[in-house]
Amino acid sequence: MGFHFKFQKLLEIEKCREEDIVKELKILQRKLHDEEKLLVFLQSVLSLQQSEMEKELYIQSEANVFVLFEAYFFKLNRDITTQASKVKEAYKKVDHIRETLLRVFKKRKVLEKLRERYEKEYKEQALRMENKTFDEIATSRFYYKRKNENIH
């Protein structure tokens, strides 16, 4: 009969949970990266459009052009604020998943250490039992050898 770890199923479940969380973390990190890229894009569009407006200031002096620019800038600033909050929320989700992953990782490591300890104890006990059996065999052979020598 070989070694059997009584918490093996729990260890396997924790390994599966860890794999699932790693996959989820990768997805969330990709989403965070996309959200950050969109935020940087919006900020660059805003600065580009502001420089365009400065050029228009020198060329035209019509008020309706500047009103359009102001409305557009207001919308861009609102979009940037919204996007910044999406990035912040994505950061929170990634941090939460990282913490969850860390807890699952620690639990799996504890179970693996426990398994190693139980397996080591099992092997030591099996070795002791084997040595005891060999000692009994040697003792019995010695006893029968002495007994046969005394009879002759």
Mean pLDDT per 10-residue interval, the chain, length 152 residues: 87 96 97 97 92 78 78 93 96 97 96 95 94 90 80 64
Contact criterion met (CB below 8 Å) for 32 and 87 = yes
Position 61 scores a pLDDT of 65
- Kindly report whether the global pTM for this prediction surpasses the value 0.75: no
44 phi and psi angles, rounded to 5 deg: -70, -35
Q: What is the pLDDT of residue 8?
A: 92
Within its chain, how far is the Cα of 118 from the centroid?
27
CA dist 100 and 24 (Å) reads 11
pLDDT recorded at residue 1? 67
Question: What pLDDT is stored for residue 69 in this prediction?
Answer: 81
Whose CA is closest to 86, among 122, 45, 34, 137? 34
What is the C-alpha separation between 27 and 143, in angstroms, rounded? Answer: 72
Neighbouring CB atoms inside 10 A of 14's CB total 20
Instruction: Identify the structural domains of the chain with CATH numbers, from first to last.
Output: 8-113 (1.10.287)
Give the whole-angstrom CA distance, residue 79 versus residue 74.
9
Residue 18 pLDDT: 96
The pLDDT assigned to 152 comes to 60
What's residue 93's pLDDT?
96
State the pLDDT at residue 63: 76
Please count the other Cβ atoms lying within 10 Å of the Cβ belonging to residue 35: 19
| Residue 7 to residue 15: CA distance in whole angstroms | 13
